[in-house]
Amino acid sequence: MGSATRRERVVRMSVEQPLWRALTAYRVLTMVYAIGLFASAYEVYERPWVGIAYFVVLAVWTLATLPQVSGARRCTKRFLTIDLAVAVAGILLSPVAGHERAITGGSTLPSIWTAGAVLAWALKGGWRWAAFASVLIGVVNVVQRGDISRSIIHNVLLVCIAGIAIGYVVEVARASERTLARALEIEAATRERERLARDIHDSVLQVLAMVQRRGTALGGEAAELGRMAGEQEIALRTLVAAGLRQPSRTSEDLSQGAVVRAVTTYAAADAPGGADDPEDLRPLLSPHADARTTFSAPGTAVLMKPAAARELAAAVGAALDNVRQHAGEGARAWILVEDEPDAVIVTVRDDGPGIPEGRLAQAEGEGRLGVAQSIRGRLRDIGGTAELISVPGQGTEVELHVPKKK
């Protein structure tokens, strides 16, 4: 991802995963509850062996299928169908076991375990699947009881409302995840385009601009070469600016998993334990010192993360390029480095004519991205800020502020 770094690790975690873990616990606990309920009323069953056989199947099925309710990928339609069939069979076998209360309104053999089957449908397929499963359970209860009583309606409504509500929450969570993945794709692609634009500005565009100026100054055939270089510079700047404004199409080019891995890798360089040893900023800036540029820095090392130090140094270089191009031949520049407890501040100041009001916005519209991308864009990528102060006739000052990580 180039030299840009992130200030925090990007980790994608499914927001529905805690619901699957809760469902796993619910199924086990309600299985134990149903068995305990059956054992407490064992003597009133006319055919308790029916209940025993059912609970053996229920226990084996519940424990053996715990991996299937650990996530949406492993929870297949076949599993959901069999799981719902186990719940339906338990309801229909309740009167066969011979418990009078199973007919007159008491608890069925699986008791509240049946709600777990409905919730599995909700987590897998959303509220529509939950509505289907809960209505089926309600119909089976009515068939098993032989009538529609207040208690049956109450129980069926509770299961329906809980299942549909959780199914709706899951659908919203999945939509949010898709939106987040799309935002990460756009961010990754945008940052890459900005990096490429900065590289082009710092190399090709600068050379073309220099050829144009020198060719115009020399005249003759060199002037024609300068004119052609100027035309190519304008065309390339227009292309770069259009590329930065163009909406990302990363959904066609990158899978969600690939983008998340890319952004996570992008952030890992700045994560604890993943960065290189700190680098002294001073050697990166001192080469800029010459007869017209004064460099001032602390006597001790100004330590920064290598990627951040290089981006900050490149932004200083871009600021000095602007001084050379726009401040005039006799303009002087000063570089001041301040190593504060919580930040590194680099100030680039010149005594040129300053920047007329509105010129920066006009330059950005023309594709001249020296300030917008080579300076502000670089500082933004490393979590810093760039402030430009210019008064016509009194020079320009660019303050680059990069917070230190704790």
pLDDT of residue 240: 55
Lowest mean pLDDT among 102-111, 163-172, 291-300: 102-111
* Residue 105 clears pLDDT 70, i.e. is over it: no
Residue 101's pLDDT is what?
53
- Residue reference for tokens 């690790």: 9
- Does position 365 have pLDDT exceeding 80, yes or no? no
Mean of per-residue pLDDT scores for the chain: 76
Q: pLDDT tens, 116-172? A: 999 999 999 888 998 999 889 888 888 887 767 676 777 778 888 888 888 888 888
Q: What is the mean pLDDT of residues 219-237?
A: 69
- Does residue 349 have a pLDDT over 50? yes
pLDDT value for 252? 39
CA angle 201, 205, 211 (to 5 degrees): 150
The two tokens of residue 230 are 């100027």
Assigned token pair, 164: 């549909």
Does the pLDDT of residue 55 top 90, yes or no? yes
**φ and ψ at 108, to 5 degrees?**
-85, 175
Helical pair 113-125 and 17-40, crossing angle rounded to 10 deg: 160
How would residue 358 be classed by pLDDT, with cut points 50, 70 and 90? low
Give residue 65's pLDDT. 93
Q: For position 241, what pLDDT does the model report?
A: 56
The secondary structure of 306-317 as a DSSP string is HHHHHHHHHHHH
Backbone angles phi, psi at 109, to 5 degrees: -60, -50
Which residue carries 């616990």 as its tokens? 25
Question: Quick one: average pLDDT of 314-318?
Answer: 86
Give the tens place of pLDDT for each residue, 384-399: 998 888 877 778 888 9
Provide mean pLDDT across the span 270-299.
Answer: 79
Could you tell me the end-to-end alpha-carbon distance of the chain, in angstroms, rounded to an integer?
24
The predicted structure's pLDDT at residue 26 = 93
pLDDT for res 107: 76
128-164: b or e for each residue (b if 16 or more CB lie within 10 Å)? Answer: ebbbebbebbbebbeebbeeeeeebeebbeebbebbb
Tens digit of each residue's pLDDT (9 = 90 or more) over 174-218: 888 778 778 877 777 767 766 666 665 555 656 666 676 777 777
What pTM, to 2 d.p., does this model score?
Answer: 0.49
Say what the pLDDT of residue 106 is: 62
Residue 255: pLDDT band (50, 70, 90) is very low
Instruction: Give the separation between CA 402 and CA 362, rounded to whole angstroms.
Output: 27
Does position 250 have pLDDT exceeding 60, yes or no?
A: no
Residue 238: predicted pLDDT: 61
